Amino acid sequence: MILLLTLSGQLAAQNPHGEGLVLDCKDCHTSGDWNYVQTTNFNHENLGFDLEGRHQSISCVDCHSSLKFEEVDANCITCHEDVHSMSVGNDCLRCHDSENWLVDEIPELHESNGFPLLGQHQVVSCSDCHQSETNLRWDRIGNDCLTCHLDDYNQTQNPNHAASGFSINCTDCHDFTAESWAGDENFHFFFPLMGGHQIADCNGCHDGSSYSNISSDCISCHESDYNMAREPDHNTSGFSTDCTLCHTIQAWSPASFRSHDDEYFPIYSGTHRGEWDSCIECHTSPGTYTTFSCIDCHEHNNASELAREHDEVRSFVYESNACYSCHPNGRED
């Protein structure tokens, strides 16, 4: 009995796999030789590293070059060369799995880092942004547009971004999800590009190198339209230069002068609503809108009929200004 205990102690002391591995030799070897025979008795998962994917088909010595198995830890870089030069950390499983080195979750990885790959950023090569001598080092490059697009900003001439002092944040004017540099109309929030203003060429309004010296007042672009208008003649009639008082942003016509009801005479409400088509039906004097006619529309068959209708009106006169003085709202009462 004493001899057996002594022999057992000597064998334990001579364990070539180090003191950390406490197993019966028969769990891995046969009595015929010391070659490893894989059995279900040894659970690698208990060591904190489950053998999954490609790790199932390799030999122990592929990882354990020394018989002291405890000299190998669970870090990937113990066996795998870090071709990314520590630019993404030492945990390969952040991007790769145990089956192969292909990366299937690049969009998710970028989104978790605050830069989702949308629009044109979905199709560019990784090395187009992460440039290095090996094209394998993925240094963080920041999320600012100019990190990659400074040359685009400086070289753009139509319009010249640098000379015009445009924002260096590309997303102020460009859609991050788009597939081209086409401007996002929403960037023009200070003057919505809608209706007739939905133009593709900035030079249609901005005819100089600067894009800050133009007013949002209608007349700054439409002075010639104002001066050339004849029906009615805007200039002679002293119309407001604020086009929005009569016109919509969609087009020049149809136009409506809604303030006419409050300032002069109700034509969009009351009894005259829908009873006319054009200004000249009431304003019959060419070139002026200070005069008007009631009697051209409100005709009477003869003087006797008119007299009977106004027999209680002292000093009645069949004349437009007289009509207006008694009927300022267009009603009979």
Cβ distance 138 to 88 under 8 Å? yes
> 268: pLDDT confidence band, cut at 50, 70 and 90?
very high
Which of 35-44, 116-125, 213-222, 317-326 is predicted with the least confidence, judged by mean pLDDT?
35-44
Q: What type of residue sits at position 100? A: N
208 has a pLDDT exceeding 80: no
Q: Per the confidence metrics, is the pTM higher than 0.85?
A: no
Closest CA to 211 of 160, 157, 268: 160
Phi, psi (deg, nearest 5) at residue 100: -160, 180
Work out the number of other CB atoms within 10 angstroms of the CB of residue 170.
Answer: 19
Lowest mean pLDDT among 71-75, 79-83, 105-109, 207-211: 207-211
Which among 246, 253, 239, 234 is positioned nearest to 195, based on CA atoms?
253
| Residue 24 backbone dihedrals phi, psi, to 5 degrees | -75, 135
Q: Are 257 and 245 in contact (CB under 8 A)?
A: yes
pLDDT in tens, 312-330: 787 778 888 888 888 888 8
Could you give the C-alpha distances from 68 to 56, 167, 233, in angstroms and in order?
20, 62, 101
As a whole number of angstroms, the distance between CA 171 and CA 253 comes to 35
On whether the CB atoms of residues 257 and 251 are closer than 8 A, the answer is: no
pLDDT tens digits, one per residue of 94-152: 888 888 888 878 888 888 878 888 888 888 888 888 888 887 888 878 888 888 899 99
- 272 phi-psi bin (left φ>0, alpha ψ -120 to 50, beta other): alpha
Work out the average pLDDT over 283-309: 77
- Long-range own/partner contacts, residues 167-174 (CB < 8 A, 24 or more apart): 168/144, 169/144, 169/145, 170/145, 170/146, 171/145
| pLDDT reading at 8 higher than 80 | no
Is the confidence at residue 266, as pLDDT, over 90? yes
Contact assessment for residue 271 and residue 298, using Cβ atoms and an 8 Å cutoff: no
pLDDT over 70 (residue 9): no
Q: How far apart are alpha carbons 290 and 186 in whole angstroms?
A: 42
Which of 59, 73, 57 has the alpha carbon at shortest distance from 28?
A: 59
Confidence tier at 37 by pLDDT (50, 70, 90): low
Distance of alpha carbon 60 from alpha carbon 221, whole angstroms: 80
Segment 159-169 mean pLDDT: 83
